[in-house]
Amino acid sequence: MESVPPIVKFTSLQKRYGVGPVVLATIDLTVAPNDFISFIGPSGCGKSTILKLVSGLSPGSTGELTVMGVKPREARDRQAFIFQDATLLPWLTAQLNVEIPLRLRGRPVAERQTTARKMLELVGLAKVADYYPRQLSGGMKMRVSIARALTLAPHLLLLDEPFGALDEMTRNRLNEELLAVRAVSPFTALFVTHSVSEAVFLSNRIVVMAANPGRFHAEVAIDFPYPRRPDLRGQPDFQAKVNEVTRLLHEVEIPPSS
């Protein structure tokens, strides 16, 4: 197992915009296949920047970053991004939105339609395939967004606070569904969130980050086996992990001077 190449590897990576302040101080991280890593930390800690770097939307300044052994941009075909809001195109139906990644790669219409239909079924939205985004609830929109990201069966999924705008019940349900989808269509995930319990429920590793400059503060391993069931949230072990991460977060959120 040691010989399996990493999905993502940060080596002494640093990021700053021009001559501005350092956004990310030296980062070292190795993401193994099938990792589900959550990044959690105060705002300004650069957790979203990590996803931008991996996706190739933003280049690193110094150090090295490889994604599936190549430069981030070259690995785009094997990764997908899920944004903070669902970023559905409002003029397209749910079905056509899910087809977009296939369409942009020039796949034939028939393949586009069957794949998109299958993805919508996977997230339980087959019956609203012809609805426009504004006819869908927030949770449904996010499910469409997940379906769209999975159409190309990516090895790596980058999620930037995808459930941040949803109420807690919807968020919990979507967390469960995300894991269910992952069981069918496996992917490695880098997940940015503000919610400790969400991070604990989803991840096998949690990276707690600090701000000014953005850096890794601590890493917590969450070794509950997958598949995880909803009642995991009520167990004392789960609560202990939530408490541990929360404590680490307090360390970085309270300025050392005060």
Partner 1 sequence: MKKHFSVLTWLLPAVSGLIFIGLWYGVRVVSGLQSWILPTPVEIMAAAVHEHTRLLAAAGHTALGALGGFLLAAILGFFTSLLLGLSKSLRASLYPWLLMLQMTPVIVLTPIIMLWAGPGMPGIITITWLISYFPIVANLTQGLLSTDMNHVALFRMCNANRWQEVLLLRVPAALPYYLAGLRIAATLAPIGAIFGEYMVGNASGGTGGLGFLVYSYNTQIKIPALFATALTSCLLGFVFVAAVAWLNWALLHKWHDSYERADH
Distance CA 159, CA 202 (A): 12
Distance CA 195, CA 193 (A): 6
Of 22, 25, 32, 57, the one binding partner 1 by CB under 8 A: 57
Q: Is 169 helix (H, G, I), strand (E, B) or coil?
A: helix
Size of the site for partner 1 (CB under 8 A): 24
Q: Does 141 bind partner 1 (CB under 8 A)?
A: no
Q: Does 127 bind partner 1 (CB under 8 A)?
A: no
Q: Does 104 bind partner 1 (CB under 8 A)?
A: yes
Q: Does 134 bind partner 1 (CB under 8 A)?
A: yes
Q: Does 165 bind partner 1 (CB under 8 A)?
A: no
Residue 209 CB neighbour total at 10 angstroms: 24
DSSP per residue over 191-252, as a string? Answer: EE-S-HHHHHHH-SEEEEEETTTBEEEEEEE--PPSSPPGGGGGSHHHHHHHHHHHHHHHHH
Span interacting with partner 1, options 32-40, 83-91, 165-173, 188-196, rule CB under 8 A:
83-91
Span interacting with partner 1, options 26-34, 129-137, 179-187, 221-229, rule CB under 8 A:
129-137
Q: Does 103 bind partner 1 (CB under 8 A)?
A: yes
Distance CA 241, CA 218 (A): 13
Of 76 and 182, the one with the shorter C-beta distance to partner 1 is: 76
Positions touching partner 1 (CB under 8 A) are 55, 57, 76-77, 79-81, 83-85, 87, 89-92, 100-101, 103-105, 132-135
